């Protein structure tokens, strides 16, 4: 077969795959109807688990990797669940059959909000009338006045955090949240005519996009940046200029709507950049019992100490999980705050009704903003043993993946924009306790000055997931501000998954290095992992193997036990994984110790700071950096 023949063959197979997927989707909607007649939850994770295990095993026999099969089926099942939910919601909240649905959003054709609005409304299979708005307030006004049925508003972004103006507006509107969706933000450099980067003189962009792509923009020092009100304005301008020396920054899909082509893709500093949008309408909707629902509400508690904790305990005592907690000052009342809370519950459920009643008694203000189907379909995990069965592929060697027999050359990890295992040693500072935002910023500034690259702080050290997630955002933002990478310790899969959304390096400490669920989650993540020695070298390598075996090849070893030079050399003969040494103890000796370990092949150093150091805590790292630089 020549290349064209092979491609024809592939295209035919792809068509068949699509036909089968469409057939599967029809069947999954039949399941939803059956579940409506005979009420059962849409999501059935036991069934999903059995299905995934069977598919992984069948895939194996066909020579397909378990990780690959699970990834594909997570996507298929996610679509199946969302389609079933949409069907049930339509049946429960019938819409007048209108030929078109109107929606208000920020920006022009091609803005991220426009793409999100189109994605959300695609489920209604009706025409769309679009209202381009210049401000969030205008979106609210357009829906409140009935000119548009829906409004789409961005509420939080994985790299720039919460969009506070939207929270503030939600407090004063009569509109309800009726839906949510998450839109990947993929910034590209867009051009109207054939050109190349070296010919560009001016780039048009929105300030937030500029901020999110700052690292790429540093590589274009001669290019002038002009700010526009929205990226869609930038695209419109570049499309009208049609010149080889101008470009816009925005999404490839948005650019296509203006006839622009992507010249460079993946410009964002942070590769996983997503925005969560909420959809608002004049009337609240009901969410079918069978569907996982989210309820958003705002409340203000009194100023007395412990008032917020008391309110949160009400949720906990009703078994209600909180997925977001955000505080905003109340204008004109400088000592009080409004809290925005998202919970995983249906507002009509008995638990939520009872919790709301109780909260009503202890808060000063409480208002439900809406209840809507959760767009998050958490992938069903399959038991590690189902994935860990030996792969029957004949060409696979039996050597452990961490070993030099398996891979000769040393592994290089990408940590943010830095490397571990490259030419230069990676220098990190790890705080033993969460220091508070101000002080974290101060550590970051000093670490940067000292020549370090990775700032580590324990976001989850007080056991509260929601607080941990807030801290992740602070850590990430502060690290980014000082051009550092960020690391945090994760102790359970849930923490790991949340941290992996935004943090550059995941730290598994000695105490957790034998937790198989955590190792499995780390292996399924695409973030690099720093695995601390749990006390014995064999257990350490076995833990590394568990991660590598799941798919994640970005693993480094952190020695916190003070292995000597000869043990380190021995270890390096054994494994291609990069080694990091923990620097703790007498500050005066640390630079010399680090220097010797570097000579023995250690690729990274982590200075432990417990906050009790006297004088400049980062001085040993700076001295080590200077010595290594002189070499």
Ligand X SMILES: O=C(O)C(=O)C[C@]1(C(=O)O)C=C[C@@H](O)C=C1
Exactly one of 69, 81, 506, 558 binds ligand X (CB under 6 A); which one?
81
Least distance from ligand X to the Cβ atom of residue 27, Å: 8
The answer to whether 70 contacts ligand X (rule: CB under 6 A) is no
The answer to whether 23 contacts ligand X (rule: CB under 6 A) is no
Residue with Cβ nearer ligand X (20 or 197): 20
Contact indicator for 582, 558 with CB cutoff of 8 Å: yes
Beta 418-420 vs 413-415: how paired, if at all?
antiparallel
Contact indicator for 118, 150 with CB cutoff of 8 Å: no
Least distance from ligand X to the Cβ atom of residue 287, Å: 17
Contact indicator for 110, 251 with CB cutoff of 8 Å: yes
The answer to whether 476 contacts ligand X (rule: CB under 6 A) is no
Please state, in angstroms and rounded to a whole number, the distance separating the CA atoms of residues 522 and 516. Answer: 10
Site string for ligand X, 28-57 (x = CB under 6 A): x--x-----------xx--xx--x------
Angle between helices 66-92 and 3-37 (to 10 degrees): 40
Determine the 3-state secondary structure of 586 from DSSP: coil
Please state, in angstroms and rounded to a whole number, the distance separating the CA atoms of residues 477 and 320. Answer: 29
Least distance from ligand X to the Cβ atom of residue 374, Å: 14
State the residue number with the nearest CB to ligand X: 80
Please state, in angstroms and rounded to a whole number, the distance separating the CA atoms of residues 217 and 478. Answer: 20
Contact indicator for 485, 505 with CB cutoff of 8 Å: yes
Across 265-375, the runs of DSSP E, i.e. the strands, are 274-281, 293-300, 322-330, 333-343, 365-373
Please state, in angstroms and rounded to a whole number, the distance separating the CA atoms of residues 270 and 88. Answer: 36
Exactly one of 52, 60, 66, 80 binds ligand X (CB under 6 A); which one?
80
Residue with Cβ nearer ligand X (44 or 165): 44
Residue with Cβ nearer ligand X (26 or 566): 26
Contact indicator for 486, 418 with CB cutoff of 8 Å: no
Please state, in angstroms and rounded to a whole number, the distance separating the CA atoms of residues 416 and 425. Answer: 15
Please state, in angstroms and rounded to a whole number, the distance separating the CA atoms of residues 369 and 171. Answer: 8
| Choices 77-85, 104-112, 268-276, 411-419; region in contact with ligand X by CB under 6 A | 77-85
Determine the 3-state secondary structure of 618 from DSSP: coil
Residue with Cβ nearer ligand X (81 or 582): 81
Residue with Cβ nearer ligand X (87 or 246): 87
Residue with Cβ nearer ligand X (22 or 398): 22
Residue with Cβ nearer ligand X (81 or 366): 81
The answer to whether 273 contacts ligand X (rule: CB under 6 A) is no
| Choices 74-82, 212-220, 273-281, 450-458; region in contact with ligand X by CB under 6 A | 74-82
The answer to whether 102 contacts ligand X (rule: CB under 6 A) is no
Query: For the chain, what is the radius of gyration of the CA atoms?
Result: 26
Residues 392-451 that bind ligand X (CB under 6 A): none
| Choices 79-87, 124-132, 168-176, 525-533; region in contact with ligand X by CB under 6 A | 79-87
Footprint on this chain of ligand X (rule: CB under 6 A)? 28, 31, 43-44, 47-48, 51, 77, 80-81, 84
């Amino acid at each position: 077969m020549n290349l064209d023949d092979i491609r024809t063959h592939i295209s035919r197979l792809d068509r068949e795959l699509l036909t089968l997927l469409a057939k599967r989707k029809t069947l999954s909607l039949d399941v939803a109807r059956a579940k409506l007649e005979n009420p059962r939850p849409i999501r059935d994770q036991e069934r999903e688990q059995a299905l995934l295990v069977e598919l992984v095993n069948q895939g194996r026999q066909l020579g397909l990797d378990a990780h690959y099969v699970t990834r594909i089926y997570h996507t298929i099942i996610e679509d199946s669940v969302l389609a079933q939910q949409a069907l049930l919601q339509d049946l429960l909240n019938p819409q007048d059959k209108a030929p078109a649905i109107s929606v208000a959003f920020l920006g022009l054709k091609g803005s991220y909000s426009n793409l999100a609005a189109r994605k959300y409304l695609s489920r209604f299979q009706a025409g769309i009338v679009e209202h381009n708005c210049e401000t969030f307030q205008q979106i609210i006004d357009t829906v409140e006045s009935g000119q548009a049925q829906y409004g789409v508003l961005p509420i939080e972004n994985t790299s720039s955090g919460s969009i506070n103006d939207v929270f503030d507006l939600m407090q004063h509107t009569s509109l309800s949240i009726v839906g949510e969706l998450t839109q990947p933000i993929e910034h590209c450099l867009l051009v109207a005519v054939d050109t190349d980067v070296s010919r560009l003189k001016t780039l048009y962009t929105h300030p937030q996009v500029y901020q999110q792509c700052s690292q790429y923009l540093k590589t274009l020092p001669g290019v002038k940046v002009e700010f526009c009100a929205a990226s869609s304005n930038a695209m419109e301008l570049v499309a009208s200029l049609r010149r080889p020396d101008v470009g816009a920054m925005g999404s490839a899909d948005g650019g296509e709507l203006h006839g622009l082509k992507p010249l460079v893709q993946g410009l964002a500093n942070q590769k996983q950049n997503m925005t969560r949008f909420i959809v608002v309408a004049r009337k609240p909707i009901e969410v079918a019992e069978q569907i996982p629902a989210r309820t958003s509400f705002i409340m203000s508690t009194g100023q007395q100490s412990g008032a917020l904790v008391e309110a949160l305990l009400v949720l906990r005592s009703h078994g209600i999980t909180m997925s977001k907690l955000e505080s905003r000052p109340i204008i004109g009342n400088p000592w009080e705050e409004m809290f925005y809370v998202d919970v995983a519950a249906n507002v009509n459920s008995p638990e939520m009704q009872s919790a709301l009643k109780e909260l009503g008694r202890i808060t000063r203000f409480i208002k439900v903003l809406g209840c809507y189907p959760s767009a998050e379909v958490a992938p069903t995990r399959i038991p590690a043993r189902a994935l860990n069965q030996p792969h029957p592929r004949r060409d696979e060697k039996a050597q452990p993946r961490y070993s030099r027999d398996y891979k000769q050359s040393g592994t290089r990890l990408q940590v943010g924009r830095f490397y571990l295992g490259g030419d230069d040693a990676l220098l990190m500072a790890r705080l033993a306790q969460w220091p508070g935002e101000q002080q974290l910023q101060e550590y970051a500034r000093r670490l940067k000055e000292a020549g370090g690259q990775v700032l580590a702080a324990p976001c989850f050290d007080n056991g509260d997931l929601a607080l941990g997630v807030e801290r992740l955002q602070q850590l990430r933002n502060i690290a980014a501000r000082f051009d550092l990478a960020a690391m945090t310790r994760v102790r359970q899969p849930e923490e790991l998954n949340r941290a992996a959304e935004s943090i550059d390096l995941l730290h598994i400490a000695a105490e957790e290095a034998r937790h198989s669920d955590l190792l499995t989650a780390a292996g399924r993540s695409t973030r690099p992992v720093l695995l601390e020695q749990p006390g014995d070298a064999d257990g350490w390598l076995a833990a590394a193997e568990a991660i590598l075996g799941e798919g994640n090849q970005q693993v480094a070893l952190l020695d916190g036990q003070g292995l000597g030079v000869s043990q380190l050399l021995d270890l390096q003969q054994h494994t291609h994984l990069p080694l990091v040494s923990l620097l703790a103890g007498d500050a005066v000796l640390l630079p010399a110790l680090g220097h010797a370990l570097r000579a023995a092949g250690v690729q990274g150093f982590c200075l432990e700071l417990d906050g009790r150091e006297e004088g400049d805590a980062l001085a040993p790292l700076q001295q080590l950096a200077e010595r290594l630089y002189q070499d």
